[in-house]
Structure 1
Amino acid sequence: MIRHRRGHLVWLETGDPDHAGEAHILRQKRREEFADAAIAEHEIIDVVFHCLRHGRFVGKHKAAEVYEIEIHGRSIRIAITIGDNGFIVTAHPISRKRRLS
């Protein structure tokens, strides 16, 4: 559990691979997406929390907040969906080509 840069608490539960939480973020498809962004499996959860604390908010994609961070000498964007209660639903890298609101 951490305090979001906007002040509210956010947290990650174990969850379920098909729906939400850590298990959803770490399912095979997402691990591959993070690997394509040069983020190793053991770094994923730390990267998600780093985005929420220190990343540069660059917009929204659907319900997800999109953050830009520098990691391993590269600038990447991570989309993070957070429920109204602060629960981290999912997170994944997102292309710079995606239109943000």
Structure 2
Amino acid sequence: MLRCPQCGSTLLYKDGYRYLADGSSVQRYLCRNCSYRFSESRKPYINTYTKGECDAHQKAAKLLVEAQRQTEKQEAGATEKANEADLYGKIVEFLWWMK
């Protein structure tokens, strides 16, 4: 059963034809409930919005992983610098002790 894509009503009028560039025609419908005019789709509807959401979610997950890696690298670098600073401090203390 054909339904209005706007409100879901099954109360429809046939509202003429729409002629395509290849010469074929498509039946047009008018919803009695909300007055929305539409044509019956020949192709199955693919919800590209959902696909875009999935792609965006995957991209966000990849960016999050990359950000975590960058943070780990920064933390590791900061630890190495702190160790170098501690080592330098201990060397200075040892030199003062030897004096």
Please state which structure has a larger fraction of its residues in strand: 1
User: Would you say same fold, with TM above 0.5?
Assistant: no
* TM-score, normalization by structure 2: 0.25
Q: Which of structures 1 and 2 has the bigger CA Rg? A: 2
- Which protein is richer in helix relative to its size? 2
